[in-house]
């Protein structure tokens, strides 16, 4: 008689930051947020989604987002990052992992982001085919310190937990 194998657990961390630029839309968690500037980047510059993608890929030992979606590849120019997150979710599941939870923090001095938290959570959860209670999105300022505090850019940090067993 064989003993059932204990599930394996892994965690991953992801970080991303982009400068704010004129003439761009501000997209975070797939939500277009009213602001006079948006995030510069090859894709839509969605630092929240990028941090979650890298955390997932790292936890599953699948490299990073640059390996899978290189910034010099024209097919990813201005792409909605939530589409890339869906692909990452599939890669992670195909590698035999399923998401336990996401905990993410966006760092921005302005604009005020808390009114958009629920929609960002829903978008990330939907892209990963999980319920929104598995996704936490928090926002904070840096009290005017650093590039975030000077309103030169926005950053995000994400931690994920995976367990073996597919989606």
CA pair distance 156, 48, nearest whole angstrom? 5
Tell the residue number behind the tokens 């892994």, with chain if given.
Answer: 10
Domain limits at 86?
A: 11-164
Residue with tokens 């008689």: 1
Quick: pLDDT tens for 42-66: 999 999 999 999 999 999 999 999 9
| Within-domain flag for 5 | no
Q: Name the H helices within 70-136.
A: 81-94, 117-127
Q: List residues bridging with 28 in a β-sheet.
A: 31
- Number of separate domains in the chain: 1
Q: CA 136 to CA 103: how far, in whole Å?
A: 5
> Are the C-beta atoms of 56 and 8 separated by less than 8 Å?
no
Distance CA 55, CA 66 (A): 13
Strand-pairing partners, residue 158, are 14, 104
Position 111 in a domain: yes
Does any domain span residue 2?
A: no
Question: Does 1 reside within a domain?
Answer: no
Confidence of residue 131 (pLDDT cuts 50, 70, 90): very high
Least confident of 15-29, 50-64, 71-85, 109-123: 71-85
């Amino acid at each position: 008689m064989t003993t059932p194998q204990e599930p394996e657990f892994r965690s991953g961390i992801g970080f991303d930051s982009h400068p704010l630029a004129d003439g761009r839309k501000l997209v975070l968690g797939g939500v277009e947020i009213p602001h006079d500037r948006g995030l510069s980047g090859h894709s839509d510059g969605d630092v929240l989604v990028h941090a979650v993608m890298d955390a997932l890929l790292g936890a599953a030992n699948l490299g990073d987002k640059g390996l899978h979606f290189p910034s010099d590849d024209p097919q990813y120019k201005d792409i909605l990052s939530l589409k890339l997150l869906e692909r990452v979710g599939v890669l992670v599941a195909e590698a035999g992992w399923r998401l336990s939870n996401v905990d993410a923090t966006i760092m921005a001095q302005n604009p005020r982001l808390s009114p958009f938290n629920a929609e960002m959570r829903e978008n990330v959860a939907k892209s990963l085919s999980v319920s929104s209670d598995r996704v936490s999105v928090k926002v904070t300022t840096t009290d005017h310190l650093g590039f975030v505090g000077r309103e030169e850019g926005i950053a995000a940090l994400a931690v994920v937990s995976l367990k073996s067993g597919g989606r």
